[in-house]
């Protein structure tokens, strides 16, 4: 197999461990024997379209080695979803032109289901255009909604962050509820799948510890039943901690954050699900409520990342290069759970078409019968994914993270 260059790019919402996959791809590429130069797409697929390719060889090796300890996307990410080949063939042809100009025969795309769709289309078109590019998908998403793979790198750490944060906040509410806050609401990411919200269950060791209620997008929200559950828990514990997914929907299938609520001017209120739930508790039950929106904090909290998650992120990056070296194309690396107890895992792969534009929601057996919490089956699934810590180095009390210089390869297309 003739040696050629490779492009690695990051896509979609970032995670605290995506740079671990970047590290895995880079290290494996340098040792592969099939790759001359490894380039990074600056801001994802945008970097390829704009011929802005980062020359990894000009980075300080110490910064590359620190990537697994650095959150966010070191090469820059994007939200760009390319249309179908039928609607916008020009962009895909431009990508192939850039690859040809820079002798790129390997493309590693690190992202979710939309990113896998892009990688699949590039693989198809490159073959049709007589310039074959090996495209391998590297899984990443905090939402954990990629099918086939047991879990997605990024999820274990966002789960750990939310579980730890909610446990600490629950201690706060427990200490203050006697004459102050009676309910606490935390909104998590997860627009269509409730994996992140469900993971907050790991904060509590028994039914008296928060979160007492978990509101999932897979279960239609029932206002009366919810308020009754809040009151039941308050009567038992004294306070109530609620975790709510941003994608919570009512029985009509509409997001509760857009369920007809209005502001003081009569305009549709576009606040989040956490705002909706906290206002509902306050207005209907007349008790003091605090509301938190972790937002970007939860997906970029590398200081408390899961060791399992970091190791898996690195492993899928390395395996992507190994698959390419074996001559495989149009594949995405997967994580295979070999055993729950003791927990063990390995890497596998699947056709990208099995991932592209598909979504994995929380299965019914992971949701408690009343719809307000999770089952032991979910706890068994989630527990090993949040295990362990790989602390970054600290200086002056602050983590030391990599900041790549990102020098660009000279353009050739004008």
Tens of pLDDT, residue by residue over 28-70, are 999 999 999 999 999 999 999 999 999 999 999 999 999 999 9
Average the pLDDT over 241-269 and give the result: 72
Average the pLDDT over 349-371 and give the result: 95
Written as one string, the DSSP assignment of 218-241 is: TS-B-HHHHHHHHHHHHHHHSSEE
**Structure confidence at residue 297 (pLDDT):** 95
Average the pLDDT over 83-91 and give the result: 81
**Structure confidence at residue 267 (pLDDT):** 34
Angle 31-10-353 from CA coordinates, rounded to 5°: 90
Rg for the chain (alpha carbons), in Å?
23
**Burial label, 90 (beta-carbon count in 10 A; 0-12, 13-18, 19+):** exposed
Find the largest Cα–Cα distance for the chain.
Answer: 73
State the pLDDT confidence band at 214, using cuts at 50, 70 and 90.
Answer: very high
Average the pLDDT over 267-290 and give the result: 84
Which two structure tokens, joined as six digits, stand for 374? 């999770």
Which two structure tokens, joined as six digits, stand for 82? 């390319």
pTM of the complete model:
0.95
Q: Does the annotation count 143 as an active-site position?
A: yes
State the pLDDT confidence band at 343, using cuts at 50, 70 and 90.
Answer: very high
Residue 270 has pLDDT above 80, yes or no: no
DSSP 8-state secondary structure symbol assigned to residue 410: P
**Number of neighbouring beta carbons within 10 Å of residue 55:** 16
* Domains, the chain, with CATH or none: 4-141+304-357+390-399 (3.40.50.450), 155-300 (3.40.50.460)
Q: Which range (83-92, 151-160, 241-250) has the least confidence?
A: 83-92
State the pLDDT confidence band at 85, using cuts at 50, 70 and 90.
Answer: confident
Q: Which range (35-49, 116-130, 245-259, 390-404) has the least confidence?
A: 245-259
Torsion, Cα 267 273 275 279, to 10 degrees, reads 90
Of 117, 143, 275, 309, the active-site residue reads: 143
- Summarised one tens digit per residue, pLDDT across range 284-295 is 999 999 999 999
- Summarised one tens digit per residue, pLDDT across range 134-161 is 999 999 999 999 999 999 999 999 999 9
């Amino acid at each position: 197999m003739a040696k050629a260059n490779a492009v690695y790019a990051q896509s979609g919402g970032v995670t605290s461990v995506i740079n671990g996959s970047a590290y895995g791809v880079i290290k494996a590429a340098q040792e592969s024997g099939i790759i001359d130069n490894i380039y990074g797409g600056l801001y994802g697929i945008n970097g390829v379209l704009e011929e802005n390719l980062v020359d990894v060889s000009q980075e300080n090796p110490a910064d590359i080695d620190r990537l697994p300890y650095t959150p966010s996307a070191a090469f820059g990410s994007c939200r760009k979803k390319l249309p179908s080949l039928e609607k916008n063939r020009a962009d895909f042809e431009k990508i192939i032109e850039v690859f040809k100009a820079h002798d790129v025969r390997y493309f590693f795309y690190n992202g979710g289901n939309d990113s896998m769709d892009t990688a699949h289309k590039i693989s198809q078109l490159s073959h049709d255009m007589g310039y074959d590019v090996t495209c391998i998908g590297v899984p990443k998403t905090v939402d954990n909604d990629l099918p086939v793979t047991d879990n997605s790198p990024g999820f274990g750490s966002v789960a750990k962050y939310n579980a730890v944060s909610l446990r600490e906040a629950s201690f706060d509410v427990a200490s203050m509820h006697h004459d102050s806050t009676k309910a606490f609401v935390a909104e998590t990411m997860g627009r269509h799948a409730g994996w992140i919200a469900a993971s907050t269950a790991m904060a509590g060791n028994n039914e008296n510890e928060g979160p007492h209620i978990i509101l999932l997008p897979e279960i239609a929200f029932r206002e009366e039943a919810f308020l009754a559950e809040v009151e039941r828990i308050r009567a038992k514990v004294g306070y109530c901690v609620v975790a709510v997914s941003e994608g919570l929907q009512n029985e009509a299938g509409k997001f509760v954050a857009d369920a007809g609520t209005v502001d003081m001017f009569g305009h549709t209120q576009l606040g989040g699900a956490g705002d909706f739930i906290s206002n509902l508790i306050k207005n209907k039950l007349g008790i003091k409520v605090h509301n938190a929106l972790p937002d970007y904090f939860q997906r970029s909290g590398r200081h408390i990342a899961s060791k399992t998650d970091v190791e898996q992120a690195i492993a899928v990056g390395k395996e992507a290069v190994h698959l390419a070296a074996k001559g495989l194309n149009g594949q995405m690396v997967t994580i295979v759970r070999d055993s729950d107890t003791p927990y063990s895992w390995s890497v596998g792969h699947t056709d990208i078409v099995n991932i592209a534009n598909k979504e994995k929601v929380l299965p019914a057996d992971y949701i408690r019968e009343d719809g307000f919490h999770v089952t032991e089956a979910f706890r068994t699934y989630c527990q090993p994914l949040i295990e362990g810590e790989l602390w970054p180095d600290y200086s002056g009390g602050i983590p030391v993270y990599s900041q790549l210089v990102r020098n660009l390869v000279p353009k050739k297309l004008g």
